[in-house]
Every structure is written in C-alpha cells, then in structure tokens.
Structure 1
C-alpha cells in the first residue's frame, strides 16, 4: 500500500531523523537516488545533456547534488539558477567541482540550453512552495514542456500543492517524478497528479518516524487480501445477496448495467427491484426480479439504489424504504438527489455515497469547479456532513470515511468517462458490500477493479463491456481465485 503524508508530517519526521545523522546525510541520500533514477531514464549518462532548473533552498540543493553525480559520470550538465545569489551553496560547489556550468535565468541562454537537453531536472521549488510559479519560473516550465527532453520533477512538480493536489497557477508538467521519504497527497490526487508522470519513491529512512498516513492507495496485494472467496461449505445465500433498485421506463439500461456489475462482485445472488425487469432478465436470466416495493423483494445483505431511477413518487418511496433498512446501502445517481439527508445521518448500518463532482457540489451546495479543483477537501467534507463513506468519482477517485485516512484509487482511465460506467461501479461495489466487505473496503476494491476493467477493455468501449471484463481483472489481482 502506498502511504502519503502532509508537508508538516514529513518535515517533522525529517527533523527527527536528521538529529540522529551527520549533517547533509538526507540530502545526499536523496541526491543519490535521484541521480540513479535519471541515469536509468536516459539509459546511461555519458555524453547526455542535462539541464537543472534550480531554485533556492533544499529542493534546488537536491537537484544540484544529483546533477553533480551525473556530471561525474560523463553527462554534460548546465544549471539554470533562478536566484543565483540564493542557490544552495553546497550543491552549487559540488556541481562546479564536477565540471558543470551555470547560467542565469535570462530566457535566451536558458531556452537554448533547454532545447538541447536530453533530460531536465525540475528543482525550482519543493514541498514548501505554494501558489503556482512566478513568471520567470513559469516561462522555464513551459519551455521545458515544449522541448523534446524528459522532464524529471525533484520530489514533486514545482507549482502543485503537495498537501491537496490543487494547482493554483502555472506548474511544471513532468514525465517522471522522483519523490523522497514518502509520497505526498498532491502526487496522487488530480488535478496535480496529471502533472506527475511516472512516480518513483526514494527511501531515505523516514519510515520509523512517520505516524499513520493522511492518505493511502491500495495495490494489488491489498486488494487480493480483501476479495471475497467462497469456501467448501458456502452457498449462494452465505455468499451474500445484493438488492438493486435501479432503472425506469425511460432508463432501463441503467438497471441492466447495475445488475451486471453486481453479478461480478462476489455476492451469491442479485435481487432486482424496478420496472426494468424484462430488460434485466433478457440480459441476465440468473437475476431474481420483482416489480417492487423493495420490502417485498426478499432478504438481502446490501442494497444499491439510484442508477436511472428517475424522480417520480415511486422512486422517492423506494429510496426512503431502502434507506430505512438495517443493511448496508449504496446511494448513487438519482437517489443522491432524492435521499433525505437526515435519514442518511440517522442510519446505523453502513452507507456509501457515490457522487461525481457535479452531484457532490449539489450535496454540499458548492460549485462544481471548486469540487474538481479541491477534491480532497470536499470528499472529507461530504463524509463528515453525511456521516457516511463517500466515493467521489472522477479522474482520481477518492474514498473518505471519518476517522480513517482518505483512500485514492490508483487505477482507471479517462475512457471510463462514458455513460453508464458509474452504474456498473455501483453494482460491483454493492455486491462487495453484500459479500461482507466494510463500506470503506468495498468502495476501495470496487473502484480498483472498475478502474482495471477500464484499462483492460479495448477502447473505445461502452459501459456494458466493463462488467464482462471484471472477472478477468479479478483473476489478475488474485490468480488463485
């Protein structure tokens, strides 16, 4: 599992570790790892041209020390010093001893060096930077992006907010980011994550001094450990039954998509309630169907309510009835509009809300643009306001639950932004709930498998193809299934 920590937490851990080590040790560890990563990206260092965009402070120092190592291995290194009188003295001296040259940040000379580079090191600002890049640095960042060189960010792309993933102004767009000690939330959350490129962590020894993380991301092994697996004495009811309340005369396809996801999520049976029974049975004859109401469908271990439901009286009654049950409930799409906030807060069983940015904005009476630019803050706010587990869908999906680190889903693709994709996710996640996973784990595993399915389905695809791909990605995560 990847763990991410805020700047304050990282700095506290660094101070503790540095008090136990000779001066400069951490910077040398970071520089050694950074230089090795750069050498790998260039497939060697001899005769390669490297440009360092070096600001003041330790971030620039890391870049300069790494560049000195590359110069000693045969690279031709030029450092563009954004503030020559404030450049890190030790790093600058090391670079000059290794044969590197320096330039002031005047556009003509700097632009020419960048145009000839094989690799560009972004050491403009580090984790202490806020508010986007200043004009001079922004010009260099744009020039680097337009070049043919590989752009490597030192610790994080300059200009992003390391704690929130916000991009309040001009930022560096990196092809790769080499971060030190721990991941930072902003490296994993959009919009900043779009600027990170390939992400590599260099261990500098902070681990023993870090508290529980502020953010985490599951990986294959974590998901494999959570996937429900039948045993010898299991029957379909012991595996869990998920109820799906979805679809309408206008949107019967939503019912089919949600049921398709539910059938692939590990539960032993799916009960469908709604007017789309004919379409559901035509596609999935194993589904147990009823016209409603939900209370007449039979026993379930979890409900999914909302996809394509509409907003008529029957829909409102169905949402209220499902929320009044004593089993876990996933609330999506139309049900997010129809649900009574107080009823959600009063529930004793688990509740999972799965809004996209627009729905989240409506739930919080906020602007969609604000939600998209500050996803971490808003998913936490939603979880607190509704006392529920919240899966905020989007380019990076976030899962929040009070008292736990926020989870960020590392899988997915922009091709998942297609009609009905969220319906499949809801059914899949609801099935995992019925199979016995906690709300937080079901949401995390559902998003992970859904994202993998999106990656593995030939593009362009329709949402109906995602459900058919889930068994394949399930087995890729847990080959012994």
Structure 2
C-alpha cells in the first residue's frame, strides 16, 4: 500500500529525524537519491548537460547538492538561481566546488559562456526542477513561468524535486502555472498531491527515496493507495460450504424503457463481482434475460423481488415517479445500498443521513457538484476537498469517479474519518458511455459479498480500472465488463 502524508506531518517527521542526525545529513540522503534517479533517467552521466532550476530553501538545496554529485561524475551542470541571495549556501558552494556554473535570470548569460539560459535549456539532456518545495502555495511566479515555458518548448526531460513546482502537495490542486515533470523524485513519504489529479498527471512517474522518515510518521496517513496485494485480500473467495445465497445476493435497480442498456451493463458488472446471485428489478428485464439468463428478474417494486444482501440502484432510471419510489424504498431498507447516476438526483439526502446500514454514493464530478451546490470546475480542481465534504455532509461513503478515483468515508469516531483512498489503475478509455454502470454493478456485488462500503468501493475501482486497461482499445462498456474476469485474476495472482 502506498501512503501519503500532508506537508506538516512530513515536516514534523523531518524535524524529529534531523534531531538524531549530524547537520545536513538528511539533505545529503535526499540529494544522493535524486542524483541516482537523474543518472538512471540519463542512462549515463559523463558528458551530459544538466540544468538545475533552483529556488530558495531546502528544495533548491537538494537540487544543488544533487547537481554537485552529477558534476563530479562528469556532467556539465548549470544552476539557474531564481533568488540568488536566498539560494542554499552549502549546496551552492558544493556545486561550484564540483565545477558547476550558475546564472541568475532567464534572460541572463551563463557565467563563463556567451549563451542565454533559454539556449542552455534547449541543449540540455535533463532539467531538474527545484524551484518550489512542498510548502509552495499558488501558481508559479513570472520568472519561474518563463523558465517552465522554455523547458516545455524545448521538450527536455524534467525531474521534479519532491513534487512539480506549482502544485499543492496537500491536495493535488494546481492553482496556476506549474511544471510538467517527466519523473518526480519524492523524499521520505508520498505527498497526497502526487497521488491525486490534476497534480498527479504533472508528476508523471514517481520514485520514492527512503531517507529514514518511516519511524517518525504517524500510523494513520492522510491518503492511501491500494496495490494488488491489498485488493487481493479484500476480494471474496467462496468456501467449500458456500452456496449462492451465502456468497451474497445483490439487487440491481437500473434501466428504463428509454435506457434498457443501463440495466444490462449494471447486471454485467454485478455478475462478475463475486456475489452468488443477481436479482434485477425494473422494466429492462427482457433485455437482461436475453443477455444474462442466470439473472433473477422481477418487474418490481424492489420489496417484492426477494431477499438481497445489498442493493445497487440508479443507472438509467430516468425521471418517472416509479423510479423515485424505487430509490426511496431501497434507501428505507436495512441492507447496504449503492446509489449512482439518476439515483443520486432522485434520492432524499435526509433519508441517506438517517440510514443505519452502509450507503455508498458513486458520483462523477458533475453529480458531486450538484450535490454540493458548486460548479463542476470547483470539484475537478479540488477533488480531495470535494470527496471529503460530500462524505461528511451525507454520512455516506463516497466514490468520486475520475482520472484518479477517490473513496472517502464519513467520520466514524473522535479520530475523524479514515484516510481517503486513491485509485489510479484507470485509463482514459473508461470515459465511455456505460462504463460507470458496470462499476455500479461490480461495487454493489462486493457490498453483497460482505465488504464494507469503503472496501467495496476501493476494490471495485481497482479492478474496474484494470479491466479498462485489459479491454480492447477503444473499448465499449461491455468490453470493460467482459475484461473484469481477467482483471480479477490478475489481482489474485500471487506473483503480481
């Protein structure tokens, strides 16, 4: 499992560790890891050209010390100092002692060479972004923007120090101009912004360098990202004495005369969820039976369909009064309920808050914005804050769909809410009609199999994202559903 910690938590851990180490030892550890990552990306060091973009503070110091290591190995290293009077003095001295050069502004000429910085960047083999550290807020300042633009135009690979400059380490927000990295080298712990879009996209591949913070970090992170092994422990496995009812029966309330396909797709996901049986309720019964004859079909209402261990309700319901009644009836029950799509518009939030059984809401950004009463752009820019607020307002677990799917549970005790879970197995190909309906059925089936709302949402997002990768390009939603089996098997394979 990958765990992410906020800036203040990381800084407290760094202070605790530095108190036990010789002065400067922690920065040297970070610089050694950064230099090694740069060497790996370059393929060789001797004869290469490296440009350091150096701001004030320790982030710039890491870049300078790493640059000194590269210079001693034969690289031509030049540091562009955005605030020369505040550049890390030890790092600056080390770079110069190793033969590195410096300049102070995008339009200046490099000392000892009649060449502007923009030309130097254009000829570089690698740029190291040490402009702003993890405490940076807001977008880049004009001088830094000019440098970032020059790097982007030159198409030079960029290694970001700890995180790309201009992104918010705590939230993943990108409030203005920011550096787009080829790779990011982060120290001691992942920061939430490295795992959450839109910042995650700018960070690209992230390498964690262990500098010894582990014993000084709290047990509870701010965010966590499940890996294959974590999800494998969550997915249900039938026992020798299992029957279809013990494995869980999931009820699916989806589809309408206008959208019968939503019923088929939600059932497709549910049938591949590990639940023992699927009961379908709604007007799409003929379409469902034609595709999946193993489904138990009822015209409704949900209360007449038979016993279930969980309900998944919402995809393609439309606006008919019967649909609203079905959502209300399901929410009034005492089993776990997943609400998606049209169900999110039709549900009574007070009824959701009053429930004792687990509730899982699965909105995309637009649906989350409607529930929160804000613009969609606000949710997309601040996904972490949005998913936390929606979970707290509704008292439900919330799966916020997107390029990085987030899962937030409401506060359960005085310790507050558990860490937000981040899933990044998805692909842009999942942005296709009906893909979310498949996810609804899959997550609903995991609820019926006995997983908590948080675990069902996390495992479903992970497997669904993998299925999107395994499906043919470009996939349809039914291709994604068909690939769920391969994705499930991939997660359950021990050597993965």
With structure 2 as the length reference, what TM-score do the two structures score?
Answer: 0.96
Q: 2:227 and 2:213 mapped to 1: Cα distance?
A: 21
The CA distance in 1 between the partners of 2:227 and 2:125, in whole Å, is 32
Which of the numbers 210, 215, 220 marks the counterpart of 2:223? 215
What is the CA-CA distance between 1:146 and the residue it aligns to?
2.0
Aligned residue pairs, count: 481
Structure 1 distance, partners of 2:206, 2:135, is 19
Following superposition of structure 1 onto structure 2, how do residues 266-277 of structure 1 map, counting pairs within 5 Å? Answer: 266-277=274-285
SS at match of 1:270: strand
Structure 1 distance, partners of 2:117, 2:287, is 64
Q: Residue 275 of structure 1: SS of its match in structure 2? A: coil
What is the rounded CA distance, in whole Å, between the counterparts of 2:429 and 2:146 in structure 1? Answer: 32
Higher mean C-alpha deviation, range 441-450 or range 94-103: 94-103
How far 1:283 sits from its partner (Å)? 0.8
Residue 262 (1) aligns with residue 270 (2): yes
CA–CA distance in structure 2, aligned partners of residues 322 and 263 of structure 1: 20
- 1:156 corresponds to: 163
For 2:272 and 2:335, the matched residues in 1 are separated by: 20
* Structure 1 stretches of 4+ moved >2 Å: none
Counterpart mapping for 1:271-350 below 5 A: 271-350=279-358
Q: Does 1:455 align with 2:469?
A: yes
Deviations 1:127-167 (Å, cap 9, x if unpaired)? Answer: 11111100110110111122232101000000001111111
- Looking at structure 1, the residues matched to 124 and 419 of structure 2 have their Cα atoms a distance apart, in angstroms, of 41
* TM-aligned CA deviation for residue 106 of structure 1: 2.9
- 8 Å Cα contact 1:145-1:151 kept in structure 2: no
Q: In 2, are the aligned partners of 1:118 and 1:148 still within 8 Å (CA)?
A: no
1:235 touches 1:268 (CA, 8 Å); kept in 2? yes
1:128 to 2:135 alignment: yes
Question: Which stretch shows the higher mean deviation, 385-394 or 457-466?
Answer: 457-466
Q: Any conservation in 2 of the 1:104–1:110 contact (CA below 8 Å)? A: no
- Which residue does the alignment assign to 1:438? 452
Partner of 1:320: helix, strand, or coil?
helix
Match of 1:60 in 2: 60
Q: Offset at 1:480?
A: 6.5
User: SS of the counterpart of 2:134?
Assistant: coil
1:429 correspondence with 2:429: no
Residue ranges of structure 1 left out of the alignment (5+ in a row): none
State the distance in 1 between where 2:288 and 2:494 align: 31
1:1-52 deviation line (CA, Å, top 9, x unaligned): 1111111111111111111111111100000001111111111111111100
Residue in structure 2 matched with residue 464 of structure 1 by the alignment: 478
SS at match of 1:168: coil
Q: SS in structure 2 opposite 1:204? A: coil
Q: Is the 8 A contact 2:160 2:185 kept in 1?
A: yes
Do the aligned partners of 1:165 and 1:374 also contact (CA within 8 Å) in 2?
Answer: yes
Q: Distance in 1 between matches of 2:61 and 2:489?
A: 45
Equivalent residue, structure 1, for 2:190: 183
Can you give the 5+ residue segments of structure 2 that lack an aligned partner in the other structure? 109-115, 411-416
SS at 1:222 equivalent: helix
The equivalent of 2:488 in structure 1 is: 474
2:236 counterpart (208, 228, 245): 228
Q: SS of 2:3's equivalent?
A: strand
Aligned partner of 2:111 in structure 1 is none
Give TM-score, length-normalised by structure 1. Answer: 0.99
CA contact (8 A) 1:303 1:328 kept: yes
Q: Report if aligned partners of 1:186, 1:193 keep a CA contact under 8 Å in 2.
A: yes
- Is the Cα contact below 8 Å between 2:397 and 2:453 reproduced in 1? yes
Q: Structure 2 matches for 1:107-118, cutoff 5 A?
A: 107=107, 109-118=116-125
* 8 Å Cα contact 1:449-1:474 kept in structure 2: yes
2:43 aligned partner:
43
Find the aligned partners of 1:106 and 1:46 in 2 and give their Cα distance.
Answer: 26
Q: Return the alpha-carbon distance in structure 2 between the equivalents of residues 467 and 40 of structure 1.
A: 39
Q: Distance in 2 between matches of 1:447 and 1:107?
A: 48
Q: Which residue of 2 aligns with 1:73?
A: 73
2:364 to 352, 356, 361: 356
Maintained 8 Å contact 1:218/1:410: no
Q: Secondary structure at the match of 1:450?
A: helix
2:157 is aligned with 1:143: no
Q: Which residue of 2 aligns with 1:196?
A: 203
